[in-house]
């Protein structure tokens, strides 16, 4: 009974906004209690630069979430992302000596062998995901338990990050008087909240578009095929407008959010928008075409990078189950339309599913990663660990 009153906490520390969610595990489901967010500080060009400033914005988001939830929390599952995170495939071979039935211990050991990668000193291991197995050279085993053989090969996808950035982030969370229950790659967290098993069956990708980084994960069924960071992010869209319209960064961001669209033709391209001017000069006018043509060019570039990563994952024929967009950058109108044109598959915004008492005002892809981190925290505390809505990923 006491377990049902444990708090599940997710902490998404973005370079633009820091978001915290507090929930409660009830019979293998999660009920949202409260959330909070704060403007992020302590970042420079997508890298951590000021640990104390970062700790203060973490504390601000957590304090707001605690007030909303009317609860005090001690730890959280923390999101990890950005350009320093890298995914790679590896293989391990377990020579068992004589033919026998393979059991769960053999499978775990084969995965451990594949994960014994000699990392560089500045790298830290974040995740190991088994993809499939081969028994005596016969490939295609998703779960080889019960098969008979003498040689078990495991194929895994390993996600690593910068050890310095990792320790810096953990230190900032600790300075904010919060323990780190676990860490999780942010697009995986978003997948945990928004991508059900049936959505991964024939191949899907989740693209998490943040201010300073865009991260992608590719699934085929239960296997994680690929993880990567892309060189185009939300701030690139804003900087393009700065140069095109000769406005400040803040004004460009406001124009993008209020008037922008990532594809021409969805809005009245000849309509006029008011462009603020600096140095006390009066505002001037521009057409929405001027604004949207810049955004469309950058959006197409982003999804061309996504398409290349899909090919690197061996999914050249496309994603039968489509692409899911999360992160604040997914809020730009027309992003799904551009994704569908470039990727030739269905695209949708990824919103959290299965969380009780979820308010309509949080139906926003910017909150999806925080929701997934909270759900994973709930799974760590929940009954049986993998039942109900909590067991839909990383089984």
Q: Choose among 39, 34, 18, 38: nearest CA to 72.
A: 34
Query: Which SS3 state, helix, strand or coil, does residue 287 take?
Result: strand
Phi first, then psi: what are they for 385, rounded to 5°? 70, -25
Please compute the mean of the pLDDT values over residues 278-295 and round it to a whole number.
85
Pairing mode of beta strands 204-209, 179-185: unpaired
Kindly report the pTM of this predicted structure: 0.90
pLDDT tens digits for range 309-364? 998 888 866 677 889 999 999 999 999 999 999 998 899 999 999 899 999 999 99
Q: What percent of the chain has pLDDT over 70?
A: 94
Pairing mode of beta strands 284-287, 272-275: antiparallel
The full set of domains in the chain, from first to last, is: 86-160 (3.30.1490.110), 199-349 (3.30.420.40)
| pLDDT score recorded for residue 222 | 85
DSSP 15-57: SSEEEEEEEEEETTEEEEEEEEEEE--SEETTEE--HHHHHHH
Cβ distance 233 to 213 under 8 Å?
Answer: yes
Q: What percent of the chain has pLDDT over 90?
A: 68
Cβ distance 212 to 45 under 8 Å?
Answer: yes
Angle between helices 368-381 and 186-194 (to 10 degrees): 80
Question: Can you tell me the distance from the alpha carbon of 276 to that of 247, in angstroms, rounded to the nearest whole number?
Answer: 7
pLDDT tens digits for range 52-92? 999 999 999 999 999 999 999 999 999 999 888 999 999 99
Please compute the mean of the pLDDT values over residues 131-141 and round it to a whole number.
92
Query: Which SS3 state, helix, strand or coil, does residue 329 take?
Result: helix
Confidence of residue 201 (pLDDT cuts 50, 70, 90): confident
């Amino acid at each position: 009974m006491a377990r049902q009153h444990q708090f599940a906490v997710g902490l998404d520390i973005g370079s633009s906004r820091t978001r915290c969610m507090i929930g409660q595990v009830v019979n293998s489901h999660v009920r949202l209690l409260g959330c909070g967010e704060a403007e992020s500080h302590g970042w420079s060009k997508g890298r951590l630069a000021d640990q104390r400033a970062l700790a203060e914005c973490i504390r601000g988001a957590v304090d707001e979430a605690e007030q909303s939830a009317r609860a005090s929390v001690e730890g959280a599952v923390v999101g990890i992302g950005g350009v320093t995170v890298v995914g790679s495939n590896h293989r391990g071979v377990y020579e068992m000596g004589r033919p026998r039935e393979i059991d769960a211990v053999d499978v775990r050991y084969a995965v451990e062998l594949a994960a014994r990668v000699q990392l560089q000193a500045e790298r830290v291991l974040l995740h190991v995901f088994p993809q499939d197995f081969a028994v005596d050279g016969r490939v295609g085993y998703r779960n080889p338990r019960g098969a008979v053989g003498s040689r078990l090969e495991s194929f895994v996808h390993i996600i690593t990050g910068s050890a310095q950035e990792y320790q810096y982030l953990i230190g900032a969370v600790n300075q904010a008087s919060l323990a780190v229950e676990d860490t999780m790659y942010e697009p995986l967290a978003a997948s945990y909240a928004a991508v059900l098993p049936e959505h991964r069956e024939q191949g899907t990708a989740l693209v998490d578009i943040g201010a300073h980084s865009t991260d992608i994960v590719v699934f085929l069924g239960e296997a994680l095929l690929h993880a990567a960071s892309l060189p185009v992010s939300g701030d690139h869209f804003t900087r393009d407008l700065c140069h095109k319209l000769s406005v400040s960064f803040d004004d460009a961001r406001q124009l993008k959010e209020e008037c922008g669209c990532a594809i021409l033709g969805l809005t009245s391209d000849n309509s006029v928008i008011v462009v603020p001017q600096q140095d006390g000069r009066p505002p001037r006018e521009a057409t929405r075409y001027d604004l949207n043509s810049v955004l469309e060019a950058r959006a197409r570039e982003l999804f061309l990078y996504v398409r290349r990563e899909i090919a690197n994952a061996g999914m050249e024929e496309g994603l039968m189950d489509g692409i899911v967009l999360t992160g604040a950058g997914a809020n730009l109108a027309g992003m799904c339309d551009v994704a569908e044109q470039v990727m030739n598959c269905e695209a949708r915004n990824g919103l959290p599913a299965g969380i009780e008492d979820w308010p309509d005002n949080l139906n926003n892809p910017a909150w999806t990663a925080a929701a997934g981190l909270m759900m994973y925290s709930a799974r760590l505390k929940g009954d049986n660990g993998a039942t109900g809505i909590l067991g839909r990923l990383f089984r």
